[in-house]
Amino acid sequence: MAKAVVDVKDVTMRYNISSQKVDNLKEYFIKFVKKEIMYNEYTALDHVSFQLEKGDRLGILGLNGAGKSTLLKVIAGVQKPTEGSVSVAGRIVPLLELGAGFEKQYTGAENIYLYGTVLGYSREFIKEKYEEIIEFSELGDFINVPVKNYSSGMKSRLGFAIATVVEPDILILDEVLAVGDAKFKKKCEAKIQGMFDRGITVLFVSHSLQQVQRICNKGILLEKGRLIASGMIDEVAALYEEKTK
């Protein structure tokens, strides 16, 4: 049996949510000191386990609130699970909330270096790929404008260009194929398809079931944080469709 490149073991993610409305920080502090703040525990993921081999492309299905994006963030290392573990073999590139890590006061050019560093790129690597990033983003002279003046589409385009300049072993996609206008979306899909063709491992969340079936060979179905089905994508997709009727 081939070695797993993604190994998710018994992953559980719980959040404490305040059950009371607190109008300001002072009121919160007083209630906290008096131990009057009550919390409800919310379980976003409940003992989820699965493995992926190199080249697998996994579609993660489920209704809103099922835990799909939380699972991707845990695998990407953005969040630490309450219980369980995740191990990955190789370079992982998460395309989650593109441009969310940008510093708004800095220019697009400055954010290339900042965001690239966050993603683990060396300064030498960023310098080498700098022109390629700008060209792909199609921002032109706007690259020297502060990001606070960018539209959401411009930020997403720059984020996508920076994140995909590397050759990842594992790619995490959360609705990012909807980036920008139709022309740029097609360009993004072509770049990601090129990665697929090189046999990388993919975890994919999309509201488009047809897109998931076109891209993925395997699937899992989440329901209220629990993994209720796992297998070949067409089988899991059929079960998901039954649940959405």
Kindly tell me if the per-residue pLDDT of 83 is higher than 80: yes
| Inter-residue contact 155 to 176 (CB < 8 Å) | no
**What pLDDT, on the 0 to 100 scale, is given for residue 28?**
55
Query: End of a domain among 166, 197, 218?
Result: 166
Kindly tell me if the per-residue pLDDT of 206 is higher than 70: yes
Residue 10, classed as helix, strand or coil, is strand
5 with 83, same domain: the answer is yes
Structure tokens at 110: 């400055």
Q: Strand (E) positions, 31-111?
A: 39-53, 57-61, 83-88, 92-95
Looking at the structure of the chain, the number of domains it has is 2
**What pLDDT, on the 0 to 100 scale, is given for residue 214?**
86
84 with 179, same domain: the answer is yes
Range with lowest mean pLDDT among 14-23, 44-53, 94-103, 151-160? 14-23
140 with 171, same domain: the answer is no
**What pLDDT, on the 0 to 100 scale, is given for residue 24?**
57
Residues constituting the chain: 245
Q: Determine what percent of the chain is predicted with pLDDT higher than 90.
A: 52
CATH of the domain at 32: 3.40.50.300
Highest averaged pLDDT of the listed ranges 49-53, 116-120, 170-174: 49-53
Q: Quick one: which of 90, 52, 92, 54 has its CA closest to 73?
A: 92
Containing structural domain, residue 210:
1-91+167-245
12 with 73, same domain: the answer is yes
What is the model's pTM? 0.78
| Inter-residue contact 235 to 228 (CB < 8 Å) | no
Cα–Cα distance for residue pair 5/213, rounded to 1 Å: 22
Q: Which helix (H) or strand (E) holds 171?
A: strand 170-174
Tell me the pLDDT band of 70, cut-offs 50, 70 and 90.
Answer: very high
Kindly tell me if the per-residue pLDDT of 195 is higher than 90: no
The pLDDT tens digits of the residues spanning 207-243 come to 889 889 988 999 999 999 999 999 999 999 999 998 8
- Please give the average per-residue pLDDT across 83-107, as a whole number: 87
Query: End of a domain among 147, 166, 185?
Result: 166
- Please give the average per-residue pLDDT across 80-104, as a whole number: 87
| Inter-residue contact 44 to 74 (CB < 8 Å) | no
176 with 84, same domain: the answer is yes
Query: End of a domain among 140, 166, 192?
Result: 166
